[in-house]
Amino acid sequence: MDDMNLKMRHLFDPRSIAFVGATNRTDKWGFRILSGLLHYGYRGKVYPINSSEREDILGMKPLPRVSSIPEPPDLAVIVTPQPTVLGIVNECVEKGVKACLVITAGFAELGRKEEEKLENQIVDTARKGGMMLVGPNSNGIISMPSNLYLLMSRRLERIQSGSLSITSRSGSVGTSVLALCVDRNFGFSRFVSNGNEADLHIEDYLAFYGEDETTKVILGYTEGIRDGDRFIEIAQGVNRKKPVVMLMAGSTDAGARAARYHTASSSGGSELLYQRACREAGIIRVDDIEEIFTIGASFIRQPLPKGRRVGILTIGGGWGVVASDACTRAGLDVTELPEETLKRMDNYLPWWWSRNNPVDTGASLEWRGCLEALAECQDVDMILVMWVAGKEMTPATELCPVMESLIEQYHKPIIFCSGGFETREAVEEFGKRQLVAFHSIDQAVKALSSLVGYSEYLFGYFSPAQASKG
Amino acid sequence: MDDMNLKMRHLFDPRSIAFVGATNRTDKWGFRILSGLLHYGYRGKVYPINSSEREDILGMKPLPRVSSIPEPPDLAVIVTPQPTVLGIVNECVEKGVKACLVITAGFAELGRKEEEKLENQIVDTARKGGMMLVGPNSNGIISMPSNLYLLMSRRLERIQSGSLSITSRSGSVGTSVLALCVDRNFGFSRFVSNGNEADLHIEDYLAFYGEDETTKVILGYTEGIRDGDRFIEIAQGVNRKKPVVMLMAGSTDAGARAARYHTASSSGGSELLYQRACREAGIIRVDDIEEIFTIGASFIRQPLPKGRRVGILTIGGGWGVVASDACTRAGLDVTELPEETLKRMDNYLPWWWSRNNPVDTGASLEWRGCLEALAECQDVDMILVMWVAGKEMTPATELCPVMESLIEQYHKPIIFCSGGFETREAVEEFGKRQLVAFHSIDQAVKALSSLVGYSEYLFGYFSPAQASKG
């Protein structure tokens, strides 16, 4: 881990925190965020800073200034009004604070010279003093390995440690992705709302997550990239180690205008850069917020396919037709199955079954034998299973372990989709195993094609000729 | 209502039903479907037909044959084994049955000459005898105005009468759409699983729904169209009266192959026909199963926009960026707001707000005044609201009635999206009012552009010049 990444630990795994703007007033972020930090069990030292409060804040004695702290804390959190921020950043630098999270907004994103200048002064001060700075206009940081929970917005219950890490230019998009993780029973490791990216840029977080042992898959949201060449260079290195799944926004005129006012992004016309980043650095690009989670989370447990040939198992004939169209459009090959595999299916299915891919089980519930036959088949690189996972058909508790063990045995991706609507039972059960239960066929197929795309980025393009050789 | 449509009432509003294959064996469709019919309170006369059963079936005395029925029933339902179907259809014709629903499968979809011939004989027999025939290989019919519930698959609880009607080539896709309706608190009127479309084709159901007073929006799924010119001619007429939202599948080679084995569709290469149907007949085409419901249901309460200019109100800046991109890509205009409207917003939002469209309320919860200002604004044709509808932010019970009354007052579409993840509270509350709570920004924007597309089909293209004139 290089020097920069070691420094990033002050941000994500701080041993001590100065919380500037701590207060007992429950309607203030200075109370809400601090109480969240304590609620989730941060075990490092916390110094509440408040220049006018004499009484204990959340059971801790407040200090009047950063300079009053008896040690240089690793991290300072700033939630005080905008005009006070520059002075506090100065104090932090003088105290020897290593990293600073500025949640306060009202800087370059206002689109006015005055606030932009102030933001630049803050960054200059931090950089000269060797202090890293997140934000301003950040919604916060979460870091599960350190029980660090510093987040605006409502508290998320049922959060679990896991292997997804998130870096988001936008607080609302980042929080949506987090909420999806939590709702679907998935764990995560690190979360940062990048805000205006005045000092630290998205590629800095990528670089850290790339080295971070707790992170297996990186989820990102950006509204424009400040230094395209640096971003691509770093992303190339990271993507060789672990997948980066990203929604890249602000690429239309209206989107760029919105981004400028939102996080002071100057991303106008960045669509070409986005496309270059995907091509050269292997970024896996998604189109909607839910996909950041569903496509990203599919990389946790699924192996990478060795070709483009997909086998489809379905209890719904129509679902199979829709999926075949979607696969073809995504460049996947709904391959013909060899006679040997068809013969195995004949054991499980009625005589009139279609002997075709998709394998439509029709009225038969004999999914297990068919799934095993597809997993073993040399001509199949990955599998899409469309089934009803629920008490009235096949309980998710039966489907999940079988899919899980076949994935491990045959090293092929097996993606589950419920064909249109989601059952809570499937979401919970698959989530427990860090497997995604898709309801959208389009999204499920996109997960498969994303696995293919990443595999090809790493190992070279699978030509149809290669594929047919098996 | 023409002759054909009057005849269709025998199918959807039958006064009497011969149920051929009725049984007390609970594992058989002949029991499950019939018990469903009684469970949902069908009030017409039911004649259970079983040649070998002497004991009562579900409390009714069985008759040995269709010919033993004392009157010619409006509808016959056939669930008996494939080799018996032709004989029963013959008997039905002789008895003077008006319409026949063949649930039994194993005909042309097997892709073999023998069964195809048998299917043709069945159709010839029915047509010569003046009896309409649904299927074979249909999953059934539901018709809420007659409490008619004849459906394979698990029973749907909480079904409600409403104004959506569904015609689906596929049982599994049709049932998915139904399940979405029910899950989201939406009512529906008619449902038919078309099966092989040996006699009645999708355009026949379209024509009936077009005239049917209980149907306001038509949802469809097709795997290929047997008679393209007839389909387009009928769809043109229907679409002038009410919107038809359809997923058109089997348009790739792999999809067409799957469709052939699924419902004996010979749709290979029909993509050009699909595109012609959308262009000439104004079919609103969707890409995924969930969209059949979400886009279709958006037509129930939303007025048609008079231009392409969208106003966006959001509590999440990032959501606004994503939505701006999506709107632009969909050909919508994220229009600049006039000074007058911005000034009204100034009353509700902090001084540093962006004065831009999307209207990002930031930390302010003053959504109501902003929404009213957008609804009143002459330069805005439709509105996208992205908000957190829930107890911890703005209860859906507060949002819904305001949106509802603004829709009615200003005759502009107002679409709600929760920005990435859905809360049950919003789904329920919006559903109660037959309004869709979107979670996908992409889908919400697609709903807006579909409303625009349909409006333009009816009233002519909105040029940007027209739009800017207001």
Are A250 and A259 within 8 A, CB to CB? yes
Q: Which of A223, A309, A310, A321 to mutate to test the interface with B (most CBs of B within 10 A)?
A: A321
Tell me, what amino acid is at B434? Q
CB-closest option in A183, A263, A320 to B258: A320
Are A262 and B360 within 8 A, CB to CB? yes
Res. B465: pLDDT tops 80: no
Question: Any idea what DSSP says for residue A434?
Answer: T
Least confident of A384-393, B292-301, B324-333, B337-346: A384-393
Tell me which residue of A458, A446, A420 sits closest to A310, measured CA to CA: A446
What CATH class does B303-469 carry? alpha beta
Q: Which helix (H) or strand (E) holds B149?
A: strand B148-151
Are A221 and A246 within 8 A, CB to CB? yes
* Closest-approach residue (CA) in chain A for B319: A173
The pairing of strands B148-151 and B140-143 is antiparallel
Using the Cα atoms of residue B415, residue B416, residue B421 and residue B424 in order, give the sign of their dihedral. Answer: negative
Tell me which residue of A274, A323, A272, A263 sits closest to A449, measured CA to CA: A323
pLDDT band, very low/low/confident/very high, at B423 (cuts 50, 70, 90): confident
B251, A315: Cβ pair inside 8 Å? no
pLDDT band, very low/low/confident/very high, at B1 (cuts 50, 70, 90): low
CB-closest option in A169, A254, A317 to B334: A254
Sheet strands (E) in B173-302? 188-193, 217-222, 244-248, 284-286
Q: Which helix (H) or strand (E) holds B95?
A: helix B82-95
A421, B290: Cβ pair inside 8 Å? yes
Locate the domains of chain B by residue range. 1-139, 156-301, 303-469
CB-closest option in B106, B154, B319 to A173: B319
CA distance B259 to B261: 5
Mean pLDDT of chain A: 93
Q: Give the gyration radius of chain B's Cα atoms.
A: 25
Q: Maximum Cα–Cα distance for chain A, whole Å?
A: 83
Does any CB of chain B come closer than 8 Å to the CB of residue A275? no
Are B239 and B203 within 8 A, CB to CB? no
The pairing of strands A188-193 and A140-143 is antiparallel
* Residue owning tokens 């290593």: A98
Q: Helical H runs in A302-417?
A: 317-329, 339-346, 367-376, 396-410
- The pLDDT assigned to B135 comes to 94
Domain B1-139: CATH superfamily is NAD(P)-binding Rossmann-like Domain (3.40.50.720)
Helix axes B228-241, B202-211, angle to 10 degrees: 20
Task: Quick: pLDDT tens for B64-83.
Answer: 999 999 999 999 999 999 99
A290, B420: Cβ pair inside 8 Å? yes
Q: Which of residues 429-458 of B touch A (CB under 8 A)?
A: 439-442
Q: Is the peptide bond before A136 cis (omega within 30 degrees of 0)?
A: yes
Contacts of residue A397, defined as CB under 8 A and 6 or more positions apart, other chains included, come to A429
pLDDT band, very low/low/confident/very high, at B468 (cuts 50, 70, 90): very low
The low-confidence residues of chain A, meaning pLDDT below 50, are: 465-470
Tell me, what amino acid is at A278? C
- The pLDDT assigned to B267 comes to 55
Chain A closest-CA separation from residue B130 CA (Å): 30
* Closest-approach residue (CA) in chain A for B112: A352
- The pLDDT assigned to B268 comes to 53
| CA-to-CA separations, B461 to A65, A262, B331, B377, B414, in angstroms, rounded | 64, 33, 12, 22, 21
CATH code of A304-469, in short, is 3.40.50.261
Residue B245 — φ and ψ, nearest 5°? -110, 125
CB-closest option in B177, B258, B327 to A324: B258
Would you say the pTM of this structure is higher than 0.90? Answer: yes
Contacts of residue A145, defined as CB under 8 A and 6 or more positions apart, other chains included, come to A12, A13, A161, A189, A190, A214
Are B134 and B169 within 8 A, CB to CB? no
CB-closest option in B314, B318, B329 to A221: B318
Torsion of CA B316, B319, B325, B329, to 10 degrees: -130
Does any CB of chain B come closer than 8 Å to the CB of residue A282? no
In this complex, how many residue pairs, one in chain A and one in chain B, have their CB atoms less than 8 Å apart? Answer: 220
CATH code of A1-138, in short, is 3.40.50.720
A156-301 CATH fold: Rossmann fold (3.40.50)
Chain A closest-CA separation from residue B68 CA (Å): 32
Token pair listed for A466: 């290669």
Same fold, A1-138 and A304-469: yes
Question: Half-sphere exposure of residue B202, counting CA atoms within 13 Å on the CB side?
Answer: 31
By three-state DSSP, how is residue A154 classified? coil
The backbone region for A139, taken as left when phi is positive above 0, alpha when psi lies in -120 to 50, beta otherwise, is: alpha
Task: Quick: pLDDT tens for B292-313.
Answer: 999 999 999 999 999 999 999 9
CA B301 from chain centre, in angstroms, equals: 15
| Residue A114 CB-density burial (10 A; 0-12 exposed, 13-18 middle, 19+ buried) | exposed
Token pair listed for A178: 């987090």
Number of Cβ atoms within 10 Å of the Cβ of B141 = 24
Q: Give the gyration radius of chain A's Cα atoms.
A: 25
* Residue owning tokens 């998915």: B176
CB-closest option in B254, B290, B318 to A172: B318
A440, B328: Cβ pair inside 8 Å? no
Residue A179 — φ and ψ, nearest 5°? -65, -35
Does any CB of chain B come closer than 8 Å to the CB of residue A362? yes
Are B427 and B184 within 8 A, CB to CB? yes
Measured between beta carbons, the chain B residues lying within 8 angstroms of A250 are 321, 325
Q: Which of A271, A315, A322 to mutate to test the interface with B (most CBs of B within 10 A)?
A: A322
More confident: A420 or B318? B318
Tell me, what amino acid is at A460? G
| CA-to-CA separations, A450 to A319, A331, A456, in angstroms, rounded | 20, 11, 10
Chain A closest-CA separation from residue B237 CA (Å): 27
- The pLDDT assigned to A470 comes to 37
Token pair listed for B303: 């007025």
| CA-to-CA separations, B25 to A362, B28, B30, B57, B432, in angstroms, rounded | 21, 6, 8, 9, 38
CA distance B71 to B85: 21
Are B367 and B311 within 8 A, CB to CB? no
